[in-house]
Structure 1
C-alpha cells in the first residue's frame, strides 16, 4: 500500500489577525508526533501540557497527578482517529488555553521524492510563549504597537528579542520539521 499524507490546516483560535499553518504529515504518525509538528509549525516551545479532542475523545500525555482522563497519544495514529474532513481541537498550555482547530483538508498519496512532514503555507507569527493566552496577546500587541503605551517598553523588554507579528516563513518551519524524521 502506498504511503499517505494528511494535509492539515492548523488555526489558532481567538486571535486576530488569524495565525494559521498548513502542513503535510504522514498518516501513520502517532498523535504525539502530530503534537510535535504543531509545536514546531506554530512556533511554540513545548513547555506546557497539551491535549487533542477528536470526536469527543481526549488524547494526550496521561499524568496521574493531573486527573485528566486522556488516552495516551503514543498509542493512536492519525489515520486511526481522523479522516478526510475531520476536525480536531488541539489545546496547548492549559493555563493560557491556546485552542487550535486542526482540520484535515485532504488525505493523499505521499510523493516518494518528498521528505515529510512539510509546512506548505501559513500566515503570521505565533504569539510569544507565556504572554497570557488570547487576552494577554491582545494586550501585548496593543502595547508593542503603540510607543506611547505605558507598557510599551516593558513589553519589549519582556520579550527580549525582535518580534514581528506579520512574519512567517514556511521554509524555515519545514527545516525545523525535518529534525523530526
Structure 2
C-alpha cells in the first residue's frame, strides 16, 4: 500500500534582507493557514502582536473580521478554512506579510510534498539561518540601521536599541532546538511568546546557522 502524501516541506525566506534569514519547515498538509501563521511566528521569533495575511495567486487570505475593515478593498478569504492540501498539486510560491507598518514579507516556497509515517503531531523546523529581527524594529531597511547601531558602542542610539533588544542581540543567532520548542508551544492557549534571544552564558558562544 502506497503511503498517502500528507505533509509539505516549505522554504521560508524574509525578503529584502542580506544575508538571508530563512527557515525550512515541515508540517501536515491538512493544516489550515491560520495554523501556518502561528508556526511562522514561532519559527522567526515574532510575537504575534500585529496584523498579518497571506498573498496567494493574487488573492488575500487572513482573518476577514480584522482585515476587511480599513485595510484595503480586496476581499479577504478566511484562512481558517483553507488548507495547505488545497494547493499541493501546484508549483506554488506565495507571500506571508506580518506587521503592515514594518511590512515584513516572507517568501514561502512549496519545496516538496511528503509521505510521512507516522505523521508528526507538530510542525518542525529542519534547518535555517540567522535570527529573526525584533518586533517593531521598523522593517528591513531600519533593521540594517538597527544592527549598525548595536555594533557601534558610540552611536547615540546604541543603548536604547540594546535595551529594546533585551540587552543582547546577535543577528547570526540560530538555535534549532529552541526554535522547535517555540513551534511545539505555538498552539497552546495563553502561550508566553519569547520576546528576546536568550543571553549567552559567559564563556559560551551563540548557536549559529549557516
- Which band: TM-score by shorter chain? over 0.9
User: Aligned residue for 1:96?
Assistant: 102
Q: What is the CA-CA distance between 1:111 and the residue it aligns to?
A: 3.3
Instruction: Give the alignment's Cα RMSD to 1 decimal.
Output: 1.8
Contact kept? 2:28, 2:119, Cα under 8 Å: no
Range 88-97 or range 171-180, more displaced: 171-180
Name the structure 2 match of 1:35. 37
Q: Which structure has the greater CA radius of gyration?
A: 2
Alpha-carbon spacing, 1:95–1:112, altered in 2? closer, same or farther (3 Å): same
Following superposition, the deviation at residue 3 of structure 1 comes to: 5.4
Q: How much does 1:127 deviate?
A: 0.3
Count of residue correspondences: 181
How far residue 139 of structure 1 moved from its aligned partner, in angstroms, is 0.9
Q: Distance in 2 between matches of 1:167 and 1:12?
A: 15
Preserved CA contact (<8 Å) 2:102 2:139: yes
Q: Which residue of structure 1 lines up, in the alignment, with residue 200 of structure 2?
A: none
The counterpart of 2:22, out of the listed 20, 23, 42, is 20
Structure 1 unaligned residues grouped into runs of 5+: none
Asked if the contact 1:84/1:106 (under 8 Å) is kept, the reply is no
State the partner residue of 1:153: 159
Compute the displacement of 1:115 (Å).
Answer: 3.6
- Between the aligned partners of 1:157 and 1:176, the Cα distance in structure 2 is 23
The offset of 1:84, in angstroms, is 5.6
Q: Decide which structure has greater helix share.
A: 1
How far apart are residue 85 of structure 1 and its match?
3.4
Please name the residue that 1:74 is paired with. Answer: 80
Structure ranking higher in strand proportion: 1
TM-score (normalised: structure 1): 0.92
